[in-house]
Structure 1
Amino acid sequence: MLTVSVKWQKELFPKVEIDTSQPPYLFKCQLYDLTGVPPERQKIMVKGGLLKDDADWAKVGVKEGQKLMMMGTADEVVKAPEKGPVFAEDMPEEELVVTVGHSAGLVNLGNTCYMNSTIQCLHFVPELKSALTKYLPSVRSNEIDLSTHQLTVATRELFNELDKNVKPVAPMRFLTELRKKYPQFAQVQNGLYMQQDAEECWTQLLYSLSLSLKSTSSSEGADAVKRLFGIDLVSRVHCAESGEESAESESVYSLKCHISHEVNHLHEGLKHGLKSELEKASPSLGRSAVYTKDSRINDLPRYLTVQFVRFFWKRETNQKAKILRKVDYPLELDVHDFCSDDLRKILEVPRRVLRDEEGKKLGLKTSGSSSTSTNKDIKMTDAEEQLNVGEESSKSALEQGTTLEKEHHLTGIYDLVAVLTHKGRSADSGHYVAWVKQENGKWIQFDDDNPIPQREEDIIRLSGGGDWHMAYICMYKARCVSL
């Protein structure tokens, strides 16, 4: 670690720390925070010429207390759009960002697109931001370790920075805390940080947030991650050879879409993902036997995450490979067919109410306006009784999270709100990008520090089959009704 001073225009920044174990690009990102000059515009004078992003600090020869000269132009301060009929194509890019309504991009700190795309997807979950807001930096429960606490605080601060800024944000503290908590994200090859798996980053971050937010005293923050993203599964494990059968239950943060030559659509991939074979010891046979595991969803979250299992370990080459096969996915996903019988009973009334509401919008007759309304009302009452039975057998759907609020009930129908894609044929390289739907219904592609407006028809074309971006993670938001 070295401490230097940096002269830029008329300003002098004393005591700027250089972590010599990390590439100079990270040092440039520090200067970006101080000066507003993007790393690509910075020219830093060192012995022998200009400082390169991937230079070796030992060969650069910077010494303790040395004064460095930096040249470069900072980003201009963004002004609010003027009133009047200004067309979007005539607006400066950053004013367009404000008008469209999305937040800033994230600076790539050296193969960190996997992290940036994960953050951009999760940042657009308002309930998660609300829970993080209530998690104060000075509060840490004895139930969680310091690294988990610091990563949670860094996530909170980064979300706030994205909300406040228009120009790209350099997520330096978040990256530092992520690598402290999970050292695998700090792997280096040939002096550069390696590309990592976005799904692994997504899962590890949610796990850490689930621990810290669950430990808060706030009722809204308690178990927020489980309530927002957790999926409860019940499974029937059966051995055809011995006739043994058992039941299992587990909680996961995503459903898996397994890809084979038979899978052309997400629905088919999810069906494959909920069935599996495993080999384990059979008490009655006294040896190992093959069991089939058939799982069903027993509790749904507010945000349903689906991972396309595109990466696998190829034994012939002893390396990770990628499945490029095209798998279509819908803008609207109905998971009713994958639910347990108990959950289907709970969903019955909300789904009927949703159909009526959507029917009214289309000008269709609903159960309440038909000539047989009496019979319909009776059926509704029966269904409500089934709902009550289902809630009791599940220890109350309200308490477990099937409904997030007393007035809002899940229907099992979800709308696509974010897609995280991977571009390239190699599993250990390539590029990750986030495509996120805004509150105003418009889609934005977040390619690191470059947010680009997109059309909805472009989103469903990210299904794979070539070298273009293909969906790796899809996040769906629940469609709810009031009862």
Structure 2
Amino acid sequence: MPVFKINIKWQKERYKDVECNTDESPEKFKAVLFSLTGVPPSRQKVMMPGKILGDENYDGIKLKDGATVMLMGTADEIPPTEQAYVSTEEPATTNECTLRLPFGLVNLGNTCYMNAAIQLLYSIPEVRTALKIFSPPQSAMGLNSPESLVINMRLLFNSMDKAEQPVIPAVFVTCLRNVCPQFATRLSNEGEKGNDGSLLSMLGARFAQQDANECWVELMHALQRVQINPCTVTSLPEIFENTRSLGSWNLVERYFTGHLLCKLTCTETEEEATETRETFTQLSCFINQDVKFLHTGIRNGFEGTVTKHSASLGRNAVYKKTSVLTRLPAYLSIHFVRFFYKEDKHLNAKILKDVKFPLELDLFSFCSEALQKDLIPIREKMRQQADYEVHSFSKEQKTATSTKDSKCPNPAKNPELFEPYSLPDDVGSNNSGFYELMGVLSHQGRTSSSGHYVAWVKVEENWIKFDDDTVTCVTPEDILRLSGGGDWHCAYVLLYGPKRVLKSIPPIEPASSTVQMEVGQSVKDVHGGDRTD
């Protein structure tokens, strides 16, 4: 049976040209009605030509384009978001949140994996802006095309921009399951329930929990279809103004793709080493008994051995593989490889090991010599800025003049005060090797197909926890506690963005000799240790 465009009548409302794909389960169409009207499927009575729509199929229903379908049922009242949070598992901490909290995404029955991934993507300014100016091709109109997922992501982001209550992502999750059928799998037991704390069940909680990193990867694959042609945009947003002369470009390739130079050396012969170039949109942190810090896990992925055929030996041989970064993307996601398949239990079990990660990440040591040379100018300027901030903080402490206004300006609000974060000839790259943590996707539970996923996002100077539609402020200390080691939330995906540096850094005022004499300190004591400036 084909796809029909029909009209929906519900109470005093009318919805025109709503697509109904009769090759799919009626539950998916009911999910669309839910997103339009707020009437949950369990309370929907859909009067179609021929009979009332059931849950299994469209047998006996005679649809045609332009047909009018009557929906009966009352809408659910959206539960209010929490504005205050006191953890029962941790001591209360003082945390002044200066933001009006945004609204979250309603859990539609084991959809926390998707909600968390969406919140991380939404936190990236370039993604939000690119989706607004993206012009999809005509071929994107199909329900199952990756472009349709991008279009629905744009609609979802628009709803999040204007939200005055928690957003119901019913249309997007339906599209996601159409484009990526692996997310449409159901619980093996009809009576089995998910344990992700959903407040709303769109389809009776019969859809299974999914892997949030797999969802993140699929969303990135869809965004690879976002091609920006500045010539077709009459008013290019300021964030992309410096790309107007570069012609058409791809969002993921520009802002999320890094480059590696990989070297293979045979350990059993003297044959010449071979070099290959690879790209990535995500780094992996491999966890074993020796990995206690993020850097070590990343290093494990850059150094190792592989077995492959040796032409000189005429058989398989062991090769040492080493990789260095030749391009750093502006935005870097890192996947903690925490799950492994247990054959005896037929499930993806979780590695709970505590692996520390920093709020500020430096990848300089992982870069090639040529790239390191390009990174040095901005790194030197960042050192100067750090010295100035330390000096200013010390001065404020002595004079008791510390105020909020003395803090470094916000790059999002004052972009003109900051250096670009990209190399001059490579828009979308990172020009320093320094990253700041801007988001964490965490998992609580013992397997990837169970438990609960949450997003933790830095908005301006505040950290916000998005537990579906429960949105609360947290502290940087709360973020660092996501390193694992128990049944509390464990970081599963980290999202780092470029660290920014001011264009103009005030000179450090020389210390007053009078003050030094009064307090009886030498220049060495004032600056600390043996350092000389």
**What band does the TM-score fall into relative to the shorter chain?**
0.7 to 0.9
Aligned with 1:456 (options 454, 470, 476): 476
Aligned partner (choices 276, 300, 303) of residue 328 of structure 2: 300
Deviation at 1:458, TM superposition (A): 0.8
1:181-221 Cα offsets, whole Å, 9 max, x none, are: 32222223436322222112211221221233267866467
How far, CA to CA, are the matches of 1:153 and 1:12 in structure 2?
Answer: 23
Q: Which runs of structure 2 are paired with 1:37-436 in the superposition (5 Å)?
A: 39=40, 57-58=55-56, 69-71=72-74, 74-75=77-78, 100-137=99-136, 147-190=145-188, 192-213=206-227, 219=243, 222-244=249-271, 245-363=273-391, 397-401=423-427, 403=429, 410-436=431-457
Separation (CA, whole Å) in 2 of partners of 1:465 and 1:89: 27
Once the 2 structures are TM-superposed, how far is the Cα of residue 180 of structure 1 from its aligned partner? 2.9
CA contact (8 A) 1:5 1:12 kept: yes
Deviation at residue 33 of structure 1 after TM alignment: 3.4
More displaced 10-residue stretch of structure 1: 299-308 or 309-318 = 309-318
Partner of 2:507: none
Over the matched positions of the two proteins, sequence identity in percent amounts to 39
- Looking at structure 1, the residues matched to 132 and 45 of structure 2 have their Cα atoms a distance apart, in angstroms, of 41
Matches of 2:26 and 2:443 in 1, distance apart? 25
Shift of 1:5: 7.2
Shift of 1:356: 0.5
One-letter code aligned to 1:272: N
Using the TM superposition, name which of 221-230 and 321-330 deviates more.
221-230
Q: Which one-letter code corresponds to 2:169 in the other structure?
A: P
What RMSD, in angstroms, separates the aligned Cα atoms of the two structures?
A: 3.9
- The amino acid across from 1:399 in the alignment is D
CA contact (8 A) 2:339 2:447 kept: no
User: Contact (CA 8 Å) 2:186, 2:207: kept in 1 or not?
Assistant: yes
Provide the C-alpha distance between the structure 2 equivalents of 1:477 and 1:29, rounded to a whole number of angstroms: 35
Letter in 1 for 2:463: W
Gaps of 5+ in 2: 47-53, 63-67, 86-96, 191-205, 233-242, 394-421, 504-533
Letter in 1 for 2:331: Y
- The 1-side partners of 2:75 and 2:217 are apart by 39
Q: Aligned pair count?
A: 418
The TM-score normalised by the length of structure 1 is: 0.75
CA distance in 2, matches of 1:73, 1:174: 19
Measured at CA, do residues 137 and 401 of structure 1 come closer, stay the same or move farther in structure 2, by a change above 3 Å?
Answer: closer
Other structure's SS at 2:501 match: strand
Report the CA distance between 1:455 and its aligned residue. Answer: 1.9
Counterpart-to-counterpart distance in 2, 1:76 and 1:430: 22
Contact persistence 2:261–2:326 (CA under 8 A): yes
Partner residue, 1:437: 458
How far has the Cα of 1:333 moved from its partner? 0.9
Counterpart in the other structure of 2:236: none
TM-score, scaled relative to structure 2: 0.68
Structure 1 residues without counterparts, runs of 5 or longer: 47-55, 79-87, 91-97, 366-395, 404-408
User: Could you tell me how far 1:28 is from its partner in structure 2?
Assistant: 6.7
Moved more, 182-191 or 280-289: 182-191
Indicate the residue corresponding to 1:53 in structure 2: none
Structure 1 counterpart SS, 2:210: coil
* Post-superposition offset of 1:461: 0.6
Secondary structure of residue in 2 paired with 1:363 = helix
Change (3 A) 1:139 1:216: farther
CA contact (8 A) 1:132 1:213 kept: no
Alpha-carbon distance between aligned partners in 1 of 2:458 and 2:148, rounded to the nearest angstrom: 29
Shift of 1:68: 6.2
d(CA) in 1 for partners of 2:84 and 2:471? 15
For 1:33, the equivalent position in structure 2 comes to 35
Q: Paired residue for 2:399?
A: none
The residue that corresponds to 2:240 in the other structure is none
